Structure 1
Amino acid sequence: MTLSPGAHRMVRFVVDYGGLLAFLAGFFLTGRDLIAATWWLVAGSALALVIGLVFERRIAPIPAISGGAALFFGGLTLIFQDEMFVKIKPTIMNLIFGAGLLGGLALGKSPLKMMLGTALQLPDAAWRKLTFNYGLYFIAIAVLNEVVWRTQSNEVWVLFRMPGLMILGLVFSFSQVPLMMRHAKTDDPPPPPSPG
């Protein structure tokens, strides 16, 4: 199925953020019940993955990992009726992404270059710096999530989760533009970090 550029962007947005938007809506529509909202997260994540598969005939790796994690941690939340599982999902996922990026660097690899190398032309030193920056960003977001869910109300945490993390991701990505522009043959900003 061939999609227009606008329709393709809409499908990408739904695949990337559909589950989280459903979670946000579910939280406020169910009287701020985090367990009930988790049903919305699980259903929204599953539907987003199906939409990606139907319209794009594939599921991109990052949305597949993020959607799979939402289903896993959401499922644990519903089985055990314990909201802690849905709250620690961003912590664990961001730690995994951060450790993967920094661990790759320690092994002399650039995981970010492997993922984006065809879209961006950067010298290896710039890829290493960008990978290091993103690795630290993901670790910082994991720590921040722990602070927010352990010290704030469910309402504050849900708003931090969506749209807060999306906004932080966009701000961080745009903060990396100067680094890219010094070295890149393109002036497109790096993609925002995927929601954890």
Structure 2
Amino acid sequence: MAEARKINPLLKSVLEFGPVVIFFIAYLRLKEQVFTIGGTEYDGFIVVTAAFIPLLIASTGALWALTGHISRMQVATLVLVVIFGGLSVWLNDARFFKMKPTMIYLLFGGLLAVGLLRGQSYLKFVMEEVMPLRDAGWMILTKRLMWCFFALAVLNEVIWRNMSEEAWVYFKTFGLSAAVFIFFMAQGKLFQAYSVERSDPDQRGD
């Protein structure tokens, strides 16, 4: 596989996170409004979702054109956004888009679980260049991340079904990303114990 081409880090961040930020800002501005399109009324959430889908497609396409590479995670996320966002717009029902994070985390967690059942860490294939660990460390980290993904899927269901739409938008925009960031920050001892630079192979971070 060809290596990804380097682009300006700021541009890369804009392409990766810009659509989500725009979705959040647009929602705050339009959440109270109702739009009549083709004789059907759509609330602000549905209109913003409809705009978010092509925006994400465009930004992902631009990222691929500039770098020559997009991750499997980005592809899976884009496909699920198109499917569940499209269903929300087509059926004028916000619930489908709110279920999208659940499906994403169930998919990622399920893929990691399949790898573990086969005695492999699929996470290693994705992140080995970023975090060089020994095989035992990858297996532990993969198992922990699998449970983290499943927990986030459950948490998303609890929040969108029991809290306000605005609370869910805040959770989706900030809470999910923060949860994954905190998860990796909490793995410091594991990274130290299983780093390939360490000479003691018997130390464990579990």
Give your verdict on TM over 0.5.
yes
Does structure 1 retain, via aligned residues, the 8 Å contact 2:136–2:194?
no
Equivalence for 1:190:
none
What SS does the aligned partner of 2:125 have? helix
Deviation of 1:40 after TM superposition, in Å, equals 2.8
Equivalence for 2:91:
80
Amino acid at match of 2:29: L
* Corresponding position: 1:71 with 2:85: no
Where do residues 19-168 of structure 1 align in structure 2 (5 Å cutoff)?
19-32=19-32, 33-168=44-179
Q: Percent identity?
A: 28
Deviation of 1:115 after TM superposition, in Å, equals 1.5
| CA deviation profile, 1:50-99 (whole Å, cap 9, x unmatched) | 22022212322221221222122111111111101100000011011011
Deviation of 1:13 after TM superposition, in Å, equals 2.2
Equivalence for 1:183:
194
**TM-score, scaled relative to structure 2:** 0.82
- Root-mean-square deviation (CA), in Å? 2.1
4+ residue segments displaced more than 6 Å: none
- Structure 2 spans left out of the alignment, 5+ residues: 33-43, 199-206
Higher relative contact order (CA 8 A, sep 6+): 1
How many correspondences in the alignment? 184
The structure with the greater share of residues assigned to helix is 1
- Structure 1 spans left out of the alignment, 5+ residues: 188-196
CA pair 14-186 structure 1, distance change in 2 beyond 3 A: farther
Does structure 1 retain, via aligned residues, the 8 Å contact 2:116–2:139?
yes
**TM-score, scaled relative to structure 1:** 0.85
Moved more, 39-48 or 106-115: 39-48
